[in-house]
Structure 1
Amino acid sequence: MLDIRLVVGPERSDTLVLPVRNDDGTDAPAAPIPTAVTLPDELTAEATALASVAALTGRAGEAQVTLRPPGAPLRLVLLGVGAGTEADWRAAGAALARTVPDETRVTVALPADAPPTAVRGLVEGVLLASYRFRLTDSGHTPALAEVELAVTDPQRYAGAVDTARTTARMTRFARDLTNMPSSVKSPEWFAGQVAAAAADLPDLDLRVWQPDELAEAGFGGVLAVGGGSARGPRMVELGWHPAGATTHVVLVGKGITFDTGGISIKPVSAMKLMRKDMAGAAAVVAATVGAAALRLPVRVTTLAPLAENMLSGSAFRPGDVVRHYGGRTSETTNSDAEGRLVLADALAYAVDRLAPDVLVDLATLTGANAVALGSRTAALYSDHDGLAGALVAAAAEAGEQAWRMPLVEDYVEYLGSDLADYYSAPARGAGSVVAALFLREFAGDLRDRWVHLDMSAPSWSSAADGELTRGATGWGVRALLRWLATLG
């Protein structure tokens, strides 16, 4: 990850970045914003003239690169920052990372009145958009290694830079986990990656449940889904328990390290990206490590039930009855609706053993949410207005999107099974809504303090888009960290 440094005055740099905006809201060209550091008059005049000639609007993410005569700097980048919101600065940071990937070091002369939120947005945008995931040494990789932020008072922005750096690092961790091909990414491998990350933070508590321990405790959903694979299931239980914390949040993330659909096998076109079916687990694990790194004053316990849904003679079948942790049963109607089975176990365990104040699960659960909300927005379900509103707001501030969907009570009857307590995936009803209703049954006494986020579509990006790069997005890490920071 590239280095971000706060400096009082710009050191000698071949590339100088000047933010521009249009302050009067007219069609007039944008102009450079007065910076916190003193620039030569001729350079300021040159930048103003260039902005006019290029007809820059100042919109967030607009960038214009100009070569200069020999001297310092050799390149001038005029970078639009829109209205100056955190989101605008995040877009500007992402654009900067893509505009100068071949420069070794750039200096950004920040406005004198830039708030810390602007710096946080800029740093997150640069770090997230510069992310690359490759399992080969060939091909082009960005050369950009250092970004200087020129300010008059580095101490004012140090906290914002540290928070942004940690948030970006944890998002990149979730992206790495999700992007990893499933030939490598078994449940055991995933648990090992969490252990390695937790080792750097001795205050984190980690338990990795082994298959025999899951069987002894009655995690029937995890065992059923993982039963068809030669690589057995696991469950990660990760805890950040700071002294004095008054709120305990349990996060649960779906961790299907590869999903063939099982006996209800997927077509190849739907199977090829199923390495991302553990993006919910990646997000909650990374958010918990991030909470510890940021020393957030809230107790967080994360559960990541991990399994590989494979097709074999030992795979579970449509029509099987699964006995979940705690004793409730579900009749399997479709082995490709496996995520809710592992989540049900983890939710029931959380209610029974962990006594949380709030219970939140993230899952790449259905494709149905993308039909309603598209590729950038997660579906949020909750009976608690305050929790739902707080998480939607935190996601928006963090640059992620969630939209509250209804838990339609008329659909509860669709869950009724003749053989078991519930159908796992009824044929009737809206797919995403009914899946959420099924999970709510396992939230027990915490159903009024439970939130479900169906985030399959926004967990992956098919192209570079703002701070997102092609592939895994790490969706949920930024939203969760933003929300957890409000609970101290």
Structure 2
Amino acid sequence: MLAIRLVTAPERPDALVLPIRPTGNAEGDGPRATLESSLPAVADELLAEAAALVPAARATGRAGEVHVHLRPGRTPGRLLLAGVGEADERGWRAAGAALARSAADETHVTVAVPGGAPAASVRGLVEGLLLASYRFRLRAADEAPTLTGVDVVVTDPAAYDEAVEAAVVTARMTRLARDLTNTPSSVKNPQWFAEQVEAAAAGEPDLHLRVRQPDELAAEGFGGILAVGGGSASGPRLVELDWRPVGARTHVVLVGKGITFDTGGISIKPRDAMKLMRKDMAGAAAVVAATLGAAALRLPVRVTTLTPLAENMVSGSAFRPGDVVRHYGGVTSETTNSDAEGRLVLADALAYAVADLKPDLLIDLATLTGANAIALGTRTGALYSENDQLAADLLAAIDAAGEAAWRMPLPADYVQYLRSDIADLYSAPTQGAGSVVAALYLREFTGDLRQRWLHVDMSAPSWAERDDAELSRGATGWGVRGLLRWLATLA
């Protein structure tokens, strides 16, 4: 990960970045962008040169725009003009992401920040740099990244320490979630995932970990997890990670779907739909990373994370369409489709959280349905809750963090689709509205916490097909940033 330093003056100005903003004159004859004012650590002659370059480059100042100018034989040798848009956190995050790519061949970059800039702007810059510079590679010989360090020039470094710490922890945990999700399923199975959580939590006395093995799951009645994992040679697990800070007055349970590979089971997927199913545990990765982030930031909120882990495979011991599964607590599901496996493992975890953990708030994240992408595209999660305040608070945190979600309905007249003739519920009714009905199914397991529960279907935004702003191609770590922002507001 890039090394970020706060400094009061450029110390290694081989490549110097100066921010530019739109003038609001996009349609007129005058300049469309202007150099940010109040850059006290930059020499006047350099500022004058940069100001003259802005119109010559036809710069617009939009967030994420970068113009590179060479200055042979002079210092700095390269001058980069970076658009920051409205110069808010979002604009600076886009600028940081663009710089991570446009300056990838540099060894070191210095970024000048206007005097008195809000702490949120510096946080956005640092997050953008760290997130966009992420790469996941499994190659015989892979070169180390050229860009290893960024100095951020500010007038008062101490004023930005907290913002930079939050940005670094958020980026580090998002990168962890990306690593976990990107790891191929030839390596990643339920046991492996549990071991990664154990290693990441080691050394933190206020983090408590319990990993339930298959025999414990059977003894305690986690029938959904056992059914989905029953077809694999790699047995299922339930990881319970608990951050218990002294003095916490709010207890949140986060549940994340952890299917380490999904063939669809006997309702087998076609090849193209199966080849990226290593990402079907992105919800588990996100909630684990968010909990570890809460511990790293010492947030005074108790957070318990439940990740039901299973590999949904095809074999003689795999569960079948038409089987009836008895979940934790006794509710039964008729499994109409073995490729609707995620809701079965989540049902167990939700029922356990309600009955045994009794939190104040209950949230689950899951790569649950393809209908999420059909309804909302590839960057937006589908959010469901009956609690207006909880939904509004989490949506605001997700937006502030640079992620996206949209609140979806829970229609009462769709509940009839869940009623099975031989069990309490159908796991996957066929009447359509796939993401909505899946949310309604999960709601059946929230008991007394129904009014304090929230579900996010984040299948589509968990993966990026190309580099896009702060996202790198592959796993996005979606949900980590939004959850950490939200947990910080609870504190």
TM-score range, shorter chain: over 0.9
Question: How far is 1:13 from its partner?
Answer: 2.4
Distance in 2 of aligned mates of 1:48 and 1:138:
43
Q: Is the 8 A contact 1:331 1:419 kept in 2?
A: yes
Quote the residue 1:254 is aligned against: 257
Distance in 1 separating the partners of 2:292 and 2:205 = 11
Quote the Cα distance in structure 2 between the aligned partners of 1:469 and 1:293: 24
| 1:161 counterpart (164, 174, 187) | 164
Matched, 1:149 2:152: yes
Matched residue, 1:6: 6
Q: Which residue of 2 aligns with 1:73?
A: 76
Aligned partner of 1:316 in structure 2 is: 319
- Deviations along 1:265-292, whole A, 9 cap, x unmatched? 0000100000000000000000000000
AA at the equivalent of 1:484: L
Distance 2:455 2:368 in 1: 10
2:41 equivalent to 1:38: yes
Is 1:135 matched up with 2:166? no
- Equivalent residue number for residue 122 of structure 2: 119
Deviation of 1:151 (Å): 1.0
Q: How does 1:382-421 map to 2 (within 5 A)?
A: 382-421=385-424
Distance 1:195 1:86 in 2: 34
What is the match of residue 484 of structure 2? Answer: 481
Instruction: Name the counterpart of 1:98.
Output: 101
What secondary structure, in the 3-state scheme, does the structure 1 residue paired with 2:490 have? coil
2:18 aligns to what? 18
Q: Choose from 181, 198, 201 the match for 1:198.
A: 201
TM-score (normalizing by structure 1): 0.99
The separation in 2 between residues aligned to 1:473 and 1:257, in whole angstroms, is 16
1:253-308 CA-partner distances (Å, limit 9, x unpaired): 00000000000000001000000000000000000000000011111000000000
Distance in 2 separating the partners of 1:154 and 1:113: 11
Tell which deviates more after alignment, 303-312 or 196-205: 196-205
Structure 2 residue 391 is the aligned partner of structure 1 residue 361:
no
Displacement of 1:232 in angstroms is 0.3
Following TM superposition, by how much is the alpha carbon of 1:40 offset from its aligned partner in structure 2, in angstroms? 2.1
CA distance in 2, matches of 1:357, 1:11: 49
Which whole-Å CA distance do the structure 2 matches of 1:59 and 1:341 have between them?
A: 45
- Answering whether residue 266 of structure 2 is matched by residue 263 of structure 1, we say yes
Q: Structure 2 unaligned runs (5+)? A: none
Gapped regions of structure 1 (runs ≥ 5): none
Contact 2:37 2:114 in 1 (8 A): yes
User: What pairs up with 1:286-301 in 2 under 5 angstroms?
Assistant: 286-301=289-304
2:283 is aligned to: 280
Q: 1:64 to 1:200 in 2, by over 3 A?
A: farther
Corresponding residue for 1:29?
Answer: 32
Query: Partner of 1:9: helix, strand, or coil?
Result: coil
Structure 1 residue runs of 4+, over 6 Å off? none
Shift of 1:23: 4.2
SS at match of 2:489: coil
What is the SS of the residue equivalent to 2:317?
coil
User: Is residue 326 from structure 1 mapped to residue 311 from structure 2 by the alignment?
Assistant: no
Alpha-carbon distance between aligned partners in 2 of 1:24 and 1:329, rounded to the nearest angstrom: 60
Q: 1:36·1:152 contact (CA, 8 Å) conserved in 2?
A: no
Local SS of the residue matching 1:484? helix
Secondary structure class of the residue paired with 1:76: strand
- Partner Cα separation in structure 1 for residue 465 and residue 485 of structure 2: 25
Given that 1:60 and 1:82 are in contact with CA atoms closer than 8 Å, whether structure 2 keeps it comes out as yes
CA shift, 1:369, in A, is 1.2
Q: CA deviation at 1:113?
A: 2.5
CA contact (8 A) 2:24 2:32 kept: no
Query: Residue 485 of structure 1: SS of its match in structure 2?
Result: helix
Correspondent of 1:459 among 439, 462, 482: 462
Q: 2: CA distance between counterparts of 1:42 and 1:200?
A: 51
8 A contact 1:411–1:429 mirrored in 2: no
Residue number among 343, 351, 367 corresponding to 1:348 in the alignment:
351
Residues 260 and 279, structure 2, Cα contact 8 Å, conserved in 1: yes
1:36, distance to aligned residue in structure 2 (A): 4.0
